[in-house]
Amino acid sequence: LKLQFLYLIADVVGALLGGGRVPQQEMALSVRVVDPLGQDLCVEVAPGATIGDVAAAAAEALGSAGVALEFMGEPCDPSTLLEASGWDCDEAFQVAVGRRPFEVGQRLEARDRQHPTLLCPASVAEVDGRRIRIHFDGWGPMYDYWCDDDTWDIAPVGTCDKYGLSLQGLGSACQSMWRGSWEEYLKGQGLEAAPEECFAQDRQHFSRRGD
């Protein structure tokens, strides 16, 4: 036992004399997150973590299936590295209450603002912070419009069925892809519906004419 101890001492001394050092475990990063009630959470993530890792740790602390984060009032890209996000130890992320950011390509139901009585299958064509560009599937870009992501003029897939509203078919360019139901359309084309967590308003207002 004494011999083993002497060997250990010799290894450490040798490492120091050789210019090396005893390796140390990297310290976890402590990140402040403000929950929907305005209370601070402190979550720990490994060095090199992304915003998505911070969101996952916050979701676990809150007992939630998932959360989206904002920083300085703007939505965060989950793939951004924490250390590249402008964050420092004095700044806190905020949980976006009941919200997840939209992603390009997600499908939803949207009001045709040129013909406000029409509710149509549509997709997210572009995202710019809290604004999104709506494109009507099967129609040309001249009918696209930009809107805030909490507008009453958009709703999750299936909202028209839920509230007994009339949903228009696809435009002529995509008519052959529509079989009368979202489920067949999404599955047949390999498309994704925007999650309900992306929508902020009570969808019963979807039946009203938008601003």
Q: Provide the pLDDT for residue 34.
A: 87
DSSP element (H, E) containing 14: helix 2-17
Q: Are 175 and 89 in contact (CB under 8 A)?
A: no
- What is the pLDDT at residue 181? 80
Spatial distance between the Cα atoms of 106 and 154, rounded to a whole number of angstroms: 12
Specify the pairing of strand 119-128 against strand 107-111: antiparallel
> Which one-letter amino acid corresponds to residue 101?
P
Q: Mean pLDDT for each consecutive 10-residue tract of the chain (211 residues)?
A: 43 50 65 81 90 90 78 85 83 77 92 90 90 92 91 90 84 62 86 85 56 40
Q: What is the pTM of this model?
A: 0.55
